[in-house]
A and B are shown apart, each in its own frame.
Chain A
Amino acid sequence: MGLLDITDLTVEFPTRRRLFVAVDGVSLDVQPGEIHGLVGESGAGKSTVGAAVMGLLDPPGRIASGNITFKNQQVSGLDDEAMRALRGRKISMIFQDPLTSLNPLLTIREQLTETIRVNLDVSAEDADKRARDLLDRVGIPDPDTRLDQYPHQFSGGMRQRVVIALALCSEPDVIIADEPTTALDVAIQAQILDLIRDLVDERRVGVILITHDMGVIADTTDRVTVMYRGKVVETGPTAKILSTPEHAYTQSLIAAVPRPHKKVHRFPRINYGGDDPDFAIEDLSRNWPQYDNVSGDPLLQVRDLTKRFVEKRSILPWGRRYFTAVDQVSFDIMPGEVLGLVGESGSGKSTVARMIAGLYKVDGGTVEFDGDLVSDLSNREVQRAYRQEIQMIFQDPFSSLNPRMRVDQIVAEPIRHHRLLPTVDIPVRVAELLDQVGLGAEARQKYPHEFSGGQRQRIAIARALATQPRFLICDEPTSALDVSIQAQILNILKDLQEHLGLTILFISHALPVVRQMCDRVAVMQRGKIVELEDSETLFTSPSHDYTKELLSLTPRTENMYERPGSEPK
């Protein structure tokens, strides 16, 4: 008997058309002082398990069968009153987004002491003292001052520490952490995970850690349960599951995690459950214009690129304050090369990309493409030609496709705009493109919401290829996608680079991915490039401290399962 036992839990959502079973016969338990990881891709039902335990299922969701017991006491089926006594008091929850889990109108002191006094029978002074101790314990420096600040005065990582302190207020026995570090940078993620680990060891609480990230599982958990489409496919001690997974799904999930330590030709594909359509690179390359990628001149030259954003507005020029997001960044990209741009959020990497793409005006410096000055947006001739030569693939395929346009209209738009083909030939070309990225003919008549994340990213790629560009900017193209789809999309990008000779600027915060994708890598910190090196050199012998720090934070994958023969050719 564990601290929290979930036996044969089934959660269903009756909808108009059918009964959707989100969680199907899931059993798991947590012991005191243990972190139990719950891992799966989006839609696997892992968050629903957490919500069911907390009694927070959104209607019309309901627990259809199964049992949840806490210290041998029945939890499932309790009425609201009894649930409130348990929820928050004995079982706490940490959510993904620290910004929305704190009340922006109350100081940290008010939020903490209120929670403490509601849950524990202590005096106002005691509650105050506890609040201070808690902040100190979760590693917030200078707790006396910080207590009287508001949530917006904390950075993302600090805020998540406050959320953890809030979850600890009632001295719970079980904490359910739902993607607690997904919204955070790698460095802060590592700190938060360490903190959770320490608290578990110290207070003997049991934690269910819900995540999609195998790296988090590897670094933090004692046991792991893998979910796929609402069902548990495998469960056991973390080390054993990671090194010798038995179920085919777990194997492909682990094999798909990008490795920072050695370069592979292509990512192992996850071929469990179907959906990995072919990408017809040979078809594409047959009609692709051939460019000379061997001559010595760089395709793109960036010199002293600078961008300032207004921080404080004022009519008077001397009253304005600026924040320098990008500070004198210079680099070259050779034809046919993949250049990686790495950094934490706020380091200015996306701003660089948007300036190169001409979406932002530059505040200083120049961008030259193939000898033309393209950072001057007023030169219409040059801009028009440039627009055909570059394309961009965005991070979020749910936002990068217009929800009110049909897929064929989306893909045809660049062709129509540049008048590349006579109107009658456009449907044929669109059909070809969609076919080449692995979407069938019936995809043309549909709207974006009818597709999954990976399919949408393929549509975005089809649109990007429509003008036959030479240069592609990929801004975090896979960070909104599941690991399995990440592998598909990255393989497509590699194909594009190798077979079509595309030059790519690849932006990411994930070092292992960059290692696999890029020839050279630029590391950005606070608007500046701190290191620009050959990818091999950078990963084996980094010279800048910041690069070393970033590298030390990548998840340990040495002992992870690798699929035999995952190295084609």
Chain B
Amino acid sequence: MSVFHRFWDSDFAWDFRHSPVAVVSFLVALLLVLSALFAPLIATINPFEPGNLNLMNGFTAPGTQNAFTGESFILGTDDQGRDVYSTILYGMRISLFVGFAAVALGMLIGVTLGLVAGYFGGWTDAIIMRIADVQLTFPSILVAMLIFGVAKGFTPVEYRDQLAIWVLILSIGLSDWVQFARVVRGATLVEKQKEYVQAARLIGRGAMPILVRHILPNVLSPVLVIATISLALAIIAEATLSFLGVGAPSTQPSLGTLIRIGQNYLFSGEWWILFFPSATLLALALSVNLLGDWLRDALNPKLK
């Protein structure tokens, strides 16, 4: 039996096929991720090449013909005459990139510290977990803004726009390691009591191989669940920061930047500039979140 067949036949895959919510949210998320990935192929133009733009096209409503140029745009255009459909595709690339990278960073830090805290205990554990507790007392968006502000202070002005994305990743990643650390620490405390860990110590294996080869693989399933749900939260956090004007710059806009730009025109009747990026963000965050919810139930045998 091939690897694919084994997977298809597993309880996990069976569970997936029989959960309509999981299948639909997976398809939606997959569609969004793929369209972000292939944005240059499916977008009508690259809206961030100034040469592609025609200011005369500004404020064209979805599906209507522009009075001056006669062009029409499926989701309309913004004030600069950019096609909203294309800006969304390009904006989603930034949003997803920041989301994935921030979760990867948070996961790396959180899992490492959680393993170390849980396995060694004592002072190491106390220090790491107290830092986590302190960080938890602030809303994570505040922490992210703080880190963002500090990091921005250190970057030279001329590189600020280029580095903004990386600073964004750093600030969201650092604000979200705590939950990984907590869950991994708890799971490590359980695993290290098990006899297979003692058997490995008995062979003479050191702390590092035991943590990496024995404990890590056994604490990964809750990490996977948190990572999925964190991805949705990180995308929202990035949108929030960008909306507040401290995130992605307007030369490299994310969905949050697009929403910020769009909200200026809401009350003058150009609703589509705000509505379509917001709807995309909602679809993306919701589908990833529902997928995470399903994953949590599927990986927890107690709920079956």
Write the residues of chain A forming the contact surface with B, with a CB cutoff of 8 angstroms.
Answer: 16, 354, 357-359, 383-384, 387-388, 390-392, 394-396, 399-405, 413-414, 417-418, 460, 463, 467
Among A400, A417, A467, point to the contact of B196 (Cβ < 8 A): A400
With both chains docked as a complex, state the minimum distance between the C-beta of A312 and any C-beta of chain B, in angstroms. Answer: 17
Give 1 or 0 for each of B3-14: 1 = CB within 8 Å of chain A CB. Answer: 000000001001
Whether B195 and A400, one on each chain, are in contact in the complex, defined by CB atoms closer than 8 angstroms, is yes
**Which of B14, B202, B209 makes the CB contact (< 8 A) with A392?**
B202
Please judge, given known A-B contacts A400-B195, A400-B196, A404-B217, whether A418 and B11 are in contact too, CB under 8 Å.
no
For chain B, residues 160 to 218, give those with C-beta under 8 angstroms from any C-beta of chain A.
194-196, 198-205, 209, 213-214, 217-218
A399 near B194 with CB under 8 A, answer yes
CA distance A383 to B217 in the complex (A): 27
Query: Quick check: A417 and B202 within 8 Å, CB to CB?
Result: no
A395 to B203, CA, bound (A): 17
State the B residues within 8 Å of A (CB): 11, 14, 194-196, 198-205, 209, 213-214, 217-218
Rank and list the top 6 A-B pairs by shortest CB-CB distance, nearest first: A387-B204, A400-B195, A404-B217, A394-B195, A402-B196, A399-B195
The distance in angstroms between the C-alpha atoms of A354 and B295, with both chains bound, is 39
**A16-B11, A16-B14 as given contacts; A401 in contact with B202, CB under 8 Å:** no
Chain B residues with CB under 8 A of A403: 196, 218
Q: What is the CA–CA distance of A395 and B201 in the complex, to the nearest angstrom?
A: 16
Closest CB of chain B to A307's CB: distance in Å?
Answer: 16
Which residues of the partner chain B approach A391 to less than 8 Å between Cβ atoms?
202
Judging by beta carbons under 8 Å apart, are B218 and A402 in contact?
yes
Q: Which of B14, B198, B203, B218 contacts A417 (CB 8 A)?
A: B203
B195–A396 touching, CB < 8 Å: yes
Closest residue of chain A to B214 (Cβ to Cβ) is A402
**CB contact under 8 A between A413 and B203, given known A396-B195, A404-B218:** yes
Cβ contact within 8 Å between B204 and A384: yes
The prevalent SS among residues of B at the interface is helix
CB-based nearest A residue for B220: A404
- Can you list 22 A-B contacts (CB < 8 A)? A358-B201, A358-B202, A359-B198, A384-B204, A387-B202, A387-B203, A388-B204, A390-B202, A391-B202, A392-B199, A392-B202, A394-B195, A399-B194, A401-B196, A402-B196, A402-B214, A404-B217, A413-B203, A413-B205, A417-B205, A418-B203, A460-B199
Q: In the assembled complex, which residues on chain A have CB atoms less than 8 Å from the CB atom of B194?
A: 399-400
The closest CB in chain A to the CB of B206 belongs to A417
- Residues of A close to B213: CB separation below 8 A: 405
CA distance in complex: A418, B200 (Å): 12
Q: Which residues of A contact B200 (CB under 8 A)?
A: 402, 413
Tell me the bound Cα distance from A170 to B223 in angstroms. 47
Q: What is the minimal beta-carbon distance from B81 to any residue of chain A, in angstroms?
A: 55
| Contact, CB under 8 Å: B201 / A359 | yes
How far does the Cβ of A399 sit from chain B's closest Cβ, in whole Å? Answer: 5
Q: B196: which A residues are within 8 A, CB to CB? A: 399-403
Within the assembled complex, what's the spacing in Å between the Cα atoms of A402 and B219?
A: 12
Looking at the assembled complex, report how far the CB atom of A464 sits from the nearest CB atom of chain B, in whole angstroms.
9
13 extra interface residue pairs, beta carbon distance < 8 Å, beyond A403-B196, A463-B199: A357-B202, A358-B201, A390-B202, A392-B198, A400-B196, A400-B199, A401-B199, A402-B218, A405-B214, A417-B205, A418-B203, A418-B204, A467-B203
Bound-complex Cα distance A359 to B217 (A): 22
Q: Chain A residue with minimal CB distance to B9?
A: A17
CA of A392 to CA of B204, assembled, Å: 12
Q: Given the complex of chains A and B, what is the CA–CA distance between A405 and B197 in angstroms?
A: 12
Q: State whether A394 and B204 are in contact (beta carbons under 8 Å apart), knowing that A16-B14, A399-B194, A403-B218 are contacts in the complex.
A: no
- Chain A residues positioned under 8 Å from B214 (CB to CB): 402, 405
Please indicate the chain B residues that have their CB under 8 angstroms from the CB of A405 in the complex.
Answer: 213-214, 217
